[in-house]
Chains A and B, each alone.
Chain A
């Protein structure tokens, strides 16, 4: 399966309105990619309906 992570990264940068170039962009992509499994686990956690956000 083709790696779609560069495209997803670009989309997240655009959504955040963040312009990062050069070495910073490379480092951010590496950090983002390394963190992706945690982010995916968070999204897959499926809280119960009664689990409301912390207040």
Chain B
């Protein structure tokens, strides 16, 4: 297939990688194509906080030179990626989307950045996000959070908003996001891409700004499941600098991707998710159709339930205490530097008593016991990815502790289980929707395999938003 600088941005990461490996395009040409597209469209889409033009071209030249010497490091070699602006790159401003860090320049790369550089990837820049990963969407101010490429009047969800926008709009070939209550899976769902929250500790938080130490996960956001597996393979691994980092060998996430769904046992969390009255009708219909697709591919389904799910959002909100603990000195010293909604939620964290926090931890243990029981008889759990497609900016409140719809994502941060959001269709208004698959701790490979089994017989992930609509009214 002929690949031109003009068409490279329509490809998924696998396509870019293949074109680079076959020398149909150079890394410099690919990088320039993305930079040109960013320059043309990011004024509207607002996906980037910092574009690392010179550094990106320098790394692209090095990648090309290395390949010309006959050495190719792997599937990410020369591939242009981007990072949520809470992942450190040495010498590059890292803001966390906040005035608090507006001029902060880290001295060292995050573990994830080191790994991506070691894999030969090219970093295009730092992506917009909700303030400190718990603010709310905004189009105004110094740190706008990005517009949804499927409808620029709508939010892309967050907090990894820029990551979702940049991947969906072809402003990078893949991105890194972080997820504390749904911040990878939400934007993935609303931007029509794949988002994978890995098992807790599989990917280091070293050099990544914290939101809630015990709930934070770093992971890939991409156009396809293969792309996510390729990035995960590069960034997974033990980091002594992260106290929660897992030890032991990193599994092969690519090897079993094409094994299909035959023999897979899926537990459908029907009561809590499918039958929830707040679930949008079109999202529900698309999810039920997706489950049928997987059944036709050989997966078996059983309805399952975990009563402790009902308490999970309340349990999650007690972890605002971790957030407050992280920010308490800054909040006391310079409260005006936080956006209003962020500041009020921080204060909510101060009001979580020790007793409430311990009660939450006991209920978290109950939830884990129930889910462990389900995953002893199912290979994975499945349900709609989010409650609804992307809303308009005006429909989002900045003064909620958490949205009711976060029930679809936040429980799975409490348990640290691998969870992937996969595109499963579009609404009549042309907005993407998704399904979500949650697996056993450490079994990211099975979650990705199931997602790929669905993806390979559907074409939702191949659809692209129309750049001619990226205009402001």
Q: Do A and B make up one complex?
A: yes
Interface string of A11-55 (1 = CB under 8 A from B): 011011110100010011011101100110111010100011110
In the assembled complex, which residues on chain B have CB atoms less than 8 Å from the CB atom of A41?
311, 314
Interface residue stretch chosen among B49-57, B61-69, B359-367: B359-367
- How far, in angstroms, from A43 to B343 measured CA to CA in the complex? 25
Taking a contact as CB atoms closer than 8 A, the residue among A24, A43, A51 that contacts B365 in the complex is A51
Interface string of B219-241 (1 = CB under 8 A from A): 00000000000000000000000
In the assembled complex, which residues on chain B have CB atoms less than 8 Å from the CB atom of A27?
340, 344, 399
Q: Residues of B within 8 Å of A, CB-based: how many?
A: 30
CB pair B345–A39 under 8 Å, yes or no, is no
In the assembled complex, which residues on chain B have CB atoms less than 8 Å from the CB atom of A30?
399
Q: How far is the CB of B360 from chain A (nearest CB, A)?
A: 6
- How far, in angstroms, from A52 to B130 measured CA to CA in the complex? 34
In the assembled complex, which residues on chain A have CB atoms less than 8 Å from the CB atom of B344?
24, 27-28, 31
Main secondary structure of the interface of B (DSSP, over half): helix
In the assembled complex, which residues on chain A have CB atoms less than 8 Å from the CB atom of B315?
42
CB pair B348–A35 under 8 Å, yes or no, is yes
Known contacts A15-B353, A27-B340, A43-B359, A32 near B348 by CB under 8 Å:
yes
Known contacts A18-B351, A35-B317, A53 near B340 by CB under 8 Å:
no
- How far, in angstroms, from A32 to B361 measured CA to CA in the complex? 21
In the assembled complex, which residues on chain A have CB atoms less than 8 Å from the CB atom of B363?
42, 45, 47, 51
Q: How far is the CB of B179 from chain A (nearest CB, A)?
A: 19
In the assembled complex, which residues on chain A have CB atoms less than 8 Å from the CB atom of B353?
12, 15
Q: For residue A41, which residue of chain B has the nearest CB?
A: B314
In the assembled complex, which residues on chain A have CB atoms less than 8 Å from the CB atom of B182?
none
Taking a contact as CB atoms closer than 8 A, the residue among B313, B335, B348, B362 that contacts A53 in the complex is B362
B318 in contact (CB, < 8 A): yes
Q: For residue B311, which residue of chain A has the nearest CB?
A: A45
B90 in contact (CB, < 8 A): no
B292 in contact (CB, < 8 A): no
In the assembled complex, which residues on chain B have CB atoms less than 8 Å from the CB atom of A35?
317, 348, 401
In the assembled complex, which residues on chain B have CB atoms less than 8 Å from the CB atom of A54?
361-362, 364-365, 368
CB pair A34–B401 under 8 Å, yes or no, is yes
For this complex, 19 residue pairs linking A to B, each with C-beta atoms less than 8 Å apart, are A18-B351, A24-B340, A24-B347, A27-B344, A31-B399, A32-B348, A34-B400, A38-B313, A41-B311, A42-B311, A42-B359, A43-B359, A45-B359, A45-B363, A47-B362, A51-B363, A53-B364, A53-B365, A54-B368
B-contacting residues of A (Cβ < 8 Å)?
12-13, 15-18, 20, 24, 27-28, 30-32, 34-35, 38-39, 41-43, 45, 47, 51-54
- 18 further contact pairs, Cβ within 8 A, besides A12-B353, A45-B363, A47-B366: A18-B351, A20-B347, A24-B343, A24-B344, A27-B340, A30-B399, A31-B400, A34-B400, A38-B313, A39-B314, A42-B311, A42-B315, A43-B356, A51-B362, A51-B365, A53-B362, A53-B365, A54-B364
What 8 pairs across the A-B complex have the smallest Cβ distances? A53-B361, A38-B314, A47-B362, A54-B364, A16-B350, A54-B361, A42-B314, A54-B365
